[in-house]
Amino acid sequence: MSEDPRVPPVTAREQLPGDQRHHFDAIEASRGGVRGPFTVLLHSPELAGRVGHLGAFVRYESDVPDALRELTILATAYEWACAYEWTAHEPIAREAGVSEAAIDAVLDDSPTDGLSELEATVVRYVRELLRTHDVMEATYRAAEDRFGPRGAVELTATVGYYSMLACVLNALRVLPDEPVPPF
């Protein structure tokens, strides 16, 4: 897609006031670069820094296993129709071990019957939370039984964090390079 972001991307630390450049540096250090939502969030450096700090925990320190976290991110991206988030995380999900069946079930919005119990629980959890703004008791219990209370909280926060990023990416029109997912 060729549509430009609604605000110009911040891609160099020199674009920020000197006393705010530490936010750019922290984001770059934790992610290996400044891209995607952070290129527009840095118009509010303090906000970008706080979002980056939370994201570093969610992505790199949470108790949610890598594959299930990435599946959570894909399911969240799908629900928000967030092309950038999907495109950025689909290869990471594959590398983390998310099954092809789970990726297809999310992308096709199909039932979770053929997925592993854990993958099905995660996809149902995200779908229920974002479609109904709640999670059915059975779905919550399945998540808590697998992850414990802390993990259930972190799974929920992962959905929330990537929902916030999807809002930023979609509203400010930060789009991926081709190819764009078909949703």
pLDDT digits (tens, 9 = 90+) for 102-144: 999 999 999 999 999 999 999 999 999 999 999 999 999 999 9
Looking at residue 181, its pLDDT comes to 82
145 C-beta neighbours (distance < 10 Å), count: 11
The residue assigned the tokens 């020199």 is 14
Angstrom distance (rounded) from CA 51 to CA 41: 9
What CATH number is given for 66-171 in this structure? 1.20.1290.10
Sequence-separated (6 or more) residues with CB below 8 Å from residue 155: 64, 68, 72, 122, 125, 143, 147
Average pLDDT over residues 153-166: 98
Judged against a pLDDT cut of 90, whether residue 1 lies above it is answered with no
Looking at residue 142, its pLDDT comes to 97
For residues 68 and 118, the answer to whether their CB atoms sit within 8 Å is yes
Judged against a pLDDT cut of 90, whether residue 3 lies above it is answered with no
For 11-27, the pLDDT digits (tens) are: 999 999 999 999 999 99
Q: What secondary structure letter does DSSP report for 25?
A: H
Judged against a pLDDT cut of 70, whether residue 2 lies above it is answered with no
Looking at residue 83, its pLDDT comes to 96
Q: How far is CA 93 from CA 7, 141, 150, in A?
A: 29, 25, 22
The rounded mean pLDDT for the chain is 95
Burial 19-45 (b: 16+ CB within 10 A, else e): ebbebbeebeeebeebebbbbbbbeeb
- C-alpha neighbours within 13 Å on the C-beta side of residue 51: 24
Q: Is the pTM of this model over 0.85?
A: yes
Average pLDDT over residues 35-42: 96
Angstrom distance (rounded) from CA 7 to CA 12: 15
| The amino acid at 158 | T
Average pLDDT over residues 153-162: 98
Q: Which regions of the chain carry the CATH code 1.20.1290.10?
A: 66-171
